């Protein structure tokens, strides 16, 4: 198509100067614009659009070019009729005059305040590129919802506009069949919008008042291509909990070591699988059939484990839950439910929890982040010549986040149903957040996530804090922590990645986790064959997840009467030089100490040959 457009542009004898206004203040540039408008005529000639909408008409030169290229089209032009952004007040009257023999309509309006463009679906929408970046981004968001093709005028007109339009292409790439730039006066960007997207919009175009209105949007494509953590899910099919968001929820939920867990809005099922592996009886509920199908697939090949999980495809506000629960989870769910639905959900959970049960909630975004911090970041970006769009949300967030939460509203609504509500600010890399450290007003605005634990009985905050931070640990005597390498290769390729399996026992009084400013990690040293010299001292780090409880943990001591231990798989990088080496596996607390030195002497040495 692009070759045909360029060929037609070279062949046409169209000369836009026959339509120009002699009082146009840009008259001196007309000779440079001849090929520019030939290209617009050629695009219309090749696309043969039955209807065209143009945003930014000015004197109507583009309108005349389009109509020359394909006279049978129905043309609609929108212009603010102002002197801003390259416009000339009153110029639209000239546009009406030079196109009066065609089927045209002109509207004086500001597209920047529109949520939808006038009319239905067009074959071609032309977006004026002589705007600030935000204006172009906004008009493009409107255009792709109502057009098969979108032509962006002046894609490379300014750096700001180029960055804004490029950001748009990045964000919406999967809704576009293709796009390409035709070189010219300032670059013409032609975009082909996916027909499937336009059909979907036409079928589901309505206002969203409750989660049921968007139920059909929770597809397998959403869960495996956009929903947070989809990349790690695809790597391990939900059998490893590697997404930091879900890890933080599991860490908070570790206040309960056993029992029955309700996974609300289970999605792909990673949390359901994780808690089933931890020995819980699990009820997984989601109103999306695709979600339930994906959640069940986490248990493929593990029928015995799957027997501990009950899957329910229904709206959690309506279903009759089968039992009382020790733990209920709502990870990134509540922002998808309307206010009235949340009241029903909280009432349902409050009724279904045991008296000492816990309701664990994570929600993104903390609405205050988008309200206060993001605008500040936009100003900083603009000051250094960078660009952040006015809308930080993805299109799925715009569609599905029908009730993003502020901390005040969230706590107030939960407190109607639970006697004890512990709410704090944080993010998925630092879930302890304001629970473990007093936040300033600025830090509250910067925090992207909100975390909550709600219960009918008082919440053990100190136990909760110990799961979400590591304070510097004093020297631990030998034997209090033990490492056992359970499986490892004896031969590895040079400069390659490999995996080992190990078990850690913790008889100390300190819970071990990888959160906070002094996290504890699993690491290693590469040493010579005699273990007398280090070849690589700083090995790669692996998070301790799930965290390793202390021997003084009340739950474990009374329920299991055994030393806490966990099994971990860690990834390592082999040496580049071939030979026989010792791999020393140990722990390190960042900024404090390695554990393989006195007095702890925590290590296990294994011999490995690099080939």
Q: What is the mean pLDDT of residues 146-161?
A: 90
pLDDT at 558: 46
In this structure, what are the phi and psi dihedrals at residue 255, rounded to the nearest 5 degrees? -60, -20
| Distance between first and last Cα of the chain | 53
**270-277 and 244-253 helices, crossing angle to 10°:** 40
**Which has more confidence, 159 or 500?**
500
Over residues 466-492, the mean pLDDT reads 95
pLDDT of residue 607 exceeding 70, the answer is yes
The percent of residues in the chain predicted with pLDDT above 70, rounded, is 96
Helix 244-253 / helix 461-468 crossing angle, nearest 10 deg: 150
Q: Rounded to whole angstroms, how far apart are CA atoms 311 and 290?
A: 12
Q: Helix crossing, 91-98 with 61-69: angle to 10°? A: 20
In the chain, pLDDT over 90 holds for what percent of residues? Answer: 83
Could you give phi then psi for residue 135, rounded to 5 degrees?
-65, -45
pLDDT band at 251 (very low <50, low <70, confident <90, very high): very high
In sequence order, the β-bridge partners of residue 439 are none
pLDDT for res 462: 92
pLDDT score, position 205: 54
The pLDDT of residue 48 is 97
Q: Which residues contact 570 (CB under 8 A, 6 or more apart)?
A: 499, 500, 502, 522, 540, 542, 585
Residue 268 near residue 291, CB atoms below 8 Å: yes
What is the average pLDDT across 252-260?
Answer: 94
pLDDT value of residue 554 = 45
pLDDT at 303 over 70: yes
Give 418's DSSP letter: -
Alpha-carbon distance of 172 to 583, in angstroms, equals: 47
3-state secondary structure of 602: coil
- Give the pLDDT confidence score for residue 130 in this predicted structure: 63
Kindly give, in sequence order, each residue whose CB lies less than 8 Å from that of residue 221, ignoring residues fewer than 6 positions away: none
3-class SS of residue 169: helix
Q: What's the mean pLDDT in 594-611?
A: 97
CB within 8 A of 149, min separation 6: which ones? Answer: 47, 49, 123, 124, 125, 190, 191, 192, 193
Q: Which of 286-300, 358-372, 541-555, 597-611 has the lowest mean pLDDT?
A: 541-555
CA dihedral in degrees (281, 284, 290, 296; nearest 10)? 0
Closest by Cα among 123, 171, 109 to 387: 171
Q: Is 183 exposed, middle or buried (0-12, 13-18, 19+ CB in 10 A)?
A: exposed
pLDDT above 50 for 556: no
Give the 3-state secondary structure of residue 146: coil
Question: Which residue in 240, 238, 270, 275 sits closest to 259, CA to CA?
Answer: 275
**In 3D, which of 370, 369, 379 has the Cα closest to residue 444?**
369
* pLDDT band (50, 70, 90) for residue 557: very low
Please tell me the total number of residues recorded for the chain in this structure.
611
pLDDT, one tens digit per residue, over 118-152 is 999 999 999 986 667 888 899 999 999 999 999 99
Cα 475 to Cα 482: distance, rounded to the nearest angstrom: 15
What order do you get walking across the sheet with 481-487 strand by strand?
Answer: 481-487, 497-506, 565-573
**Residue 85's pLDDT band (cuts 50, 70, 90):** low
**Bridge-based pairing state of the strands 604-610 and 579-589:** antiparallel
Q: What residues are paired with 579 via a beta bridge?
A: 610
Give the whole-angstrom CA distance, residue 217 versus residue 575: 48
Q: How far is CA 184 from CA 49, 124, 161, 448, in A?
A: 22, 19, 16, 43
CB 525 within 8 A of CB 533: no
Q: Tokens 């906004």 identify what position?
A: 138
The whole-number pLDDT of residue 464 equals 94
- Give dist(CA 218, CA 267) in Å, integer: 9
In whole numbers, what is the pLDDT of the chain averaged over residues? 93
């Amino acid at each position: 198509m692009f070759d045909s457009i360029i060929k037609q542009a070279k062949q046409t004898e169209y000369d836009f100067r026959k339509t120009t206004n002699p009082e146009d203040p840009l008259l001196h540039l007309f000779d440079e614009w001849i090929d520019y408008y030939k290209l617009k005529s050629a695009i219309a000639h090749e696309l043969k659009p039955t209807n065209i909408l143009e945003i930014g008409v000015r004197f109507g030169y583009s309108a005349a070019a389009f109509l020359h290229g394909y006279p049978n089209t129905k043309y609609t032009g929108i212009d603010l009729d102002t002197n801003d952004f390259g416009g000339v007040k009153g110029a639209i009257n000239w546009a009406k005059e030079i196109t009066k023999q065609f089927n045209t309509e002109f509207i004086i309006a500001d597209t920047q305040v529109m949520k939808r463009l006038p009319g239905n679906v067009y074959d071609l929408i032309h977006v004026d590129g002589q705007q600030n970046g935000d204006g172009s981004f906004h008009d493009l968001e409107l255009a792709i919802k109502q057009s098969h093709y979108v032509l962006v005028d002046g894609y490379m007109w300014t750096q700001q506009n180029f960055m804004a339009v490029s950001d748009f292409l990045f964000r919406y790439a999967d809704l576009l069949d293709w796009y390409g730039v035709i070189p010219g006066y300032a670059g013409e960007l032609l975009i082909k919008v996916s027909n499937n997207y336009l059909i979907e919009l036409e079928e589901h175009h309505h206002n969203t008042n409750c989660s049921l209105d968007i139920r059909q949007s929770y597809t397998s494509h959403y869960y495996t291509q956009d929903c947070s953590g989809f990349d790690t899910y695809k790597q391990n099919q939900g059998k490893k909990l590697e997404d930091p968001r879900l890890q933080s929820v599991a860490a908070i939920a570790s206040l309960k070591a056993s029992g029955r867990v309700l996974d609300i809005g289970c999605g792909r099922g990673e949390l359901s699988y994780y808690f089933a592996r931890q020995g819980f009886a699990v009820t997984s509920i989601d109103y999306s059939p695709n979600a339930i199908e994906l959640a069940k697939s986490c248990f493929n090949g593990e029928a015995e484990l799957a027997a501990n999980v009950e899957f329910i495809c229904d709206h959690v506000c309506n279903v009759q839950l089968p039992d009382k629960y020790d733990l209920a989870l709502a990870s990134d769910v509540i922002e998808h439910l309307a206010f009235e639905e949340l009241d029903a959900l909280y009432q349902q959970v409050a009724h279904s929890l045991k008296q000492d049960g816990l309701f664990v909630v994570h929600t993104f975004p903390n609405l205050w982040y988008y309200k206060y911090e993001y605008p500040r970041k936009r100003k900083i970006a603009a000051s250094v010549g960078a660009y952040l769009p006015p809308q930080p949300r993805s299109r799925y967030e715009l569609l599905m986040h029908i009730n993003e939460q502020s901390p005040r509203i969230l706590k107030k609504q939960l407190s109607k149903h639970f006697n004890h509500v512990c709410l704090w600010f944080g993010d998925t890399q630092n879930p302890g957040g304001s629970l473990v450290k007093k936040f300033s007003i600025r830090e509250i605005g910067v925090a992207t996530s909100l975390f909550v634990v709600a219960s009918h009985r008082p919440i053990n905050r100190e136990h909760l804090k110990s799961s979400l931070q590591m304070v510097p640990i004093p020297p631990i005597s030998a034997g209090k922590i033990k490492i056992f390498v359970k499986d490892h290769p004896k031969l590895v390729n040079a400069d390659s990645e490999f995996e080992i399996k190990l078990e850690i026992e913790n008889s100390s009084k300190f819970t071990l986790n990888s959160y906070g400013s002094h996290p504890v990690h699993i690491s290693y040293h590469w040493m010579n064959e005699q273990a007398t010299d280090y070849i690589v001292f700083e090995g790669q780090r692996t998070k301790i997840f799930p965290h390793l409880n202390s021997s003084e943990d009340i739950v474990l001591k009374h329920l299991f009467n055994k030393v806490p231990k966990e099994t971990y798989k860690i990834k390592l990088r082999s040496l580049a030089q071939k030979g026989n080496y010792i791999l020393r596996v140990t722990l390190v607390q960042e900024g404090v100490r390695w554990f393989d030195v006195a007095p702890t002497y925590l290590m296990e040495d294994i011999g490995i040959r690099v080939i």
